[in-house]
Structure 1
Amino acid sequence: MNTLALPSCLCFILCVLQHGFGAVLPKHRNLFTERACCRRQSHFVYVGQDISGSPVNVDVGTCRAHCGGTYDAGLLGYSRHSSMLDFLRSKKMRARGVASPPADSAALAPSCGVTSTCQPTGLRVSRVMLLDGLREVEVIEDCHCEARMSQCLRVPALKTYHPDTPYETVVDAGKCAAPKTEKAGFSCVPTKFDAALVETPNKVELVQTVEACNMEESCYRVPYVEYYYEVTYSTDGVRKEMVKEIDVGRCLGSCTPGNRCLLRNSSDPEGCLLWAEGSGNTCIPQGYESHTFLNQHGQIRTVLAITSCVCQP
């Protein structure tokens, strides 16, 4: 049969009927395993009680970082197998008490390779009315393979506010990303912030966004600018009023001593299953400088600005 005269769609069907799917799909490519890697996985967290007193659990989701590993029963571990048929066969063997063969080392490799990580493609900010008031919960919508950064950088992070309503708004809130090989004791953290306006049925809200990132210690200082009216007098007694800008600074970060992770995920060393209680010490101002000026009312005013931060012992 001369397949050149047939439409492309008919050629595809004919090829499948004659040779099977292996003839039309690229060799050495397992679509089942590819779809299983880097995907959103359900992860329910308790957020409190609603106004009726009933417990509220929200599926905030999590991005699965590896193709293999040990998970709970069900479909959570099917990506360790080369196909759905192998998964069902292994499940049947386990039901009969027959031990399944151990997963090879390739199946335990990072799902996105060594140059990428499995990260959320976007977050949905859900509002839950609880007994003690309204609470916002960030929910992962989907996951994808994201390239690892070679340095500490601000990268896009899309958040959807008021989803499924006429006021749905997508904001690039930003986040900080850095390679794992950075020196110990330092982290890639936000050092400059901005704000975005989000319209709601009741009012316009300000949403904080990340504008810049830098490598800082666990407890660090960030700029925080405040404006004041300052009055000065020239040599001939002329009164002049101007706006004075002072970077008073803020202390951010955590001061938890050591590593609070008590139990790690065997398939994902970065994932912690159980944390020790306690929030650790507090990040507080260590050094400061004073700014003295004359205000509009002719009074001398002194404003203290943070120059450095330290963990409170």
Structure 2
Amino acid sequence: MDLPRLLLLLLCALHLTLTRVLSKHIDHRNLFTQRVCCKRQSHFVYIGQDISGSPVSVDVGICRSHCGGAVRPSHEALQQEYSKHSSMLEFLRSKKMRTRRPTPPESPEPLNQLPSCGIHQVCEPTGMRVDRVLLFEGPRDVEVIQECQCDVKVNQCIRVPALKTYYSDTPYEAVIDVGGCSRSKGAPEGFSCVPTKFDSALVETPNKVDLIQTVSACELKESCYRVPYVEYYYEIVQHGDGVKEEKLKEIDVGRCLGGCTTGKRCLLRSPSDPKICHLWADRESSSCVPQGHESHSFLNQHGEIRTVHSITSCLCQN
């Protein structure tokens, strides 16, 4: 066999080998992490009592990535561990002493165990369902996670799609992109990616038409922030020649959104994952209220001077 043909055969064999290796370690890994490592798990939440007085708990679900991650203690395990101590203070002291002790180095991760969702991905819900539950206090909408998948992390503050299904399993079932804001990791301290502009969508029901609020734009804002809120009024304008003209006056009166909290709520964090909090404490809360305002005066249809105040800034107030 001549040399050129031999080199061609060697190159073909090398190409096939590399293709199999890459498909095994990349394609299979992506498919495996998206469908297996990131899964919906049951998460029951008590929402109240129904009209008969019976307690109502709903499986709202939770997205968890479990491949290659640290083993998280279950709720039952934490309860058993707490029951061994006479008080919560003793339980916290025991936890604190154990975290201070030097821990042996962890064994290397098995080669066949894949990391959950990869470095640049996060396990997030891909489908939500809104169930209306009739409680003793009245109807309540509960959001239920249907499916989970590994999604790419977004560093910028942008509006992201969020599909929600309303009136599932009925002739009025509708899927609406209500939208949401990305979890911006590069945000400055004290700032969050929050909705600043809203829109609406109509959903037909057997009794009436429901108006669903949707997110149309997001921005980096502090925890307490102002958003536009436009109101319209009729204004009478007096011209120099004595002619009166009725015009439509637009005023952005604004609204204060966001939550204000002081202090740290977490009393006990997981030693393996500091993001996980096992014990929360009550925290002082304050409201997001207007800080500054400006006045808009105009002549209304009845010839009277009307003054409308608009919010210019917001702040947290106890």
- TM-score normalized with structure 2 length: 0.76
Post-superposition offset of 1:182: 1.7
Equivalents in 2 of 1:180, 1:298: separation in Å?
A: 54
Q: Residue 299 of structure 1 aligns with which residue?
A: 304
Question: Deviations along 1:154-213, whole A, 9 cap, x unmatched?
Answer: 000001000000000111000000431321100000011111111110000111110100
Equivalents in 2 of 1:260, 1:103: separation in Å?
A: 33
Q: Quick one: structure 1 residues 34 and 195, their matched pair in 2 at CA, closer, same or farther if it must change by over 3 Å?
A: closer
Q: Residue 9 of structure 1 aligns with which residue?
A: none
Q: Quick one: structure 1 residues 266 and 200, their matched pair in 2 at CA, closer, same or farther if it must change by over 3 Å?
A: farther
Contact 1:65–1:268 (8 Å) recurs in 2 = no
1:177 aligns with 2:177: no
Post-superposition offset of 1:147: 1.1
Contact 1:49–1:55 (8 Å) recurs in 2 = yes
Q: Secondary structure at the match of 1:36?
A: helix
Post-superposition offset of 1:109: 8.0
Question: Deviations along 1:66-101, whole A, 9 cap, x unmatched?
Answer: 42222457xxxxxxxxxxxxxxxxxxxxxxxxxxxx
Equivalents in 2 of 1:71, 1:45: separation in Å?
A: 19
Q: Residue 234 of structure 2 aligns with which residue?
A: 229
Q: Residue 59 of structure 1 aligns with which residue?
A: 59
Contact 1:66–1:268 (8 Å) recurs in 2 = no
- Percentage identity across aligned positions? 63
Equivalents in 2 of 1:271, 1:59: separation in Å?
A: 21
1:275 aligns with 2:280: yes
Q: Quick one: structure 1 residues 126 and 26, their matched pair in 2 at CA, closer, same or farther if it must change by over 3 Å?
A: same
Post-superposition offset of 1:36: 3.4
Post-superposition offset of 1:299: 0.9
Q: Residue 123 of structure 1 aligns with which residue?
A: 128
Q: Residue 43 of structure 1 aligns with which residue?
A: 43
Aligned residue identity for 1:43: H
Equivalents in 2 of 1:277, 1:216: separation in Å?
A: 25
Alignment of 1:162-241 (within 5 A): 162-241=167-246
Equivalents in 1 of 2:302, 2:122: separation in Å?
A: 57
Contact 1:255–1:282 (8 Å) recurs in 2 = yes
Q: Of the candidates 135, 140, 148, which is equivalent to residue 135 of structure 1?
A: 140
Q: Quick one: structure 1 residues 295 and 109, their matched pair in 2 at CA, closer, same or farther if it must change by over 3 Å?
A: farther
Q: Which runs of 5+ in 2 are unaligned?
A: 1-19, 75-105
Q: Give the stretch that moved more between structures: 33-42 or 227-236.
A: 33-42
Q: Residue 17 of structure 2 aligns with which residue?
A: none
Q: Residue 69 of structure 1 aligns with which residue?
A: 70
Equivalents in 2 of 1:237, 1:208: separation in Å?
A: 45
Q: Secondary structure at the match of 1:282?
A: strand
Equivalents in 1 of 2:126, 2:225: separation in Å?
A: 29
Q: Quick one: structure 1 residues 59 and 132, their matched pair in 2 at CA, closer, same or farther if it must change by over 3 Å?
A: same
Q: Give the stretch that moved more between structures: 165-174 or 64-73.
A: 64-73
Q: Of the candidates 127, 138, 145, which is equivalent to residue 150 of structure 2?
A: 145
Equivalents in 2 of 1:171, 1:289: separation in Å?
A: 37
